[in-house]
Amino acid sequence: MRELVGTCTVCGKEIYCEDGFLNGEHLDNELYCFDCAAEKE
């Protein structure tokens, strides 16, 4: 199962939830892909 959750706040990449696993991160109520989440830290 693959569900579109939203897009990365920084780069606009689409974030999906796949089998309950989010291929991004929720930080401060915003959605980030892993690349942008890593740069934010």
Site for Zn ion, rule CB under 5 A: 8, 10-11, 13, 33, 36
Half-sphere exposure of 7 (CA within 13 A, CB side): 5
Supply the minimum distance, in Å, between the C-beta of residue 23 and Zn ion.
11
Nearer to Zn ion by C-beta: 13 or 22?
13
CB of 41 to Zn ion, least distance (A): 13
Q: Are 33 and 15 in contact (CB under 8 A)?
A: yes
Are the beta carbons of 4 and 16 closer than 8 angstroms? yes
Least distance (Å) between residue 5 CB and Zn ion:
13
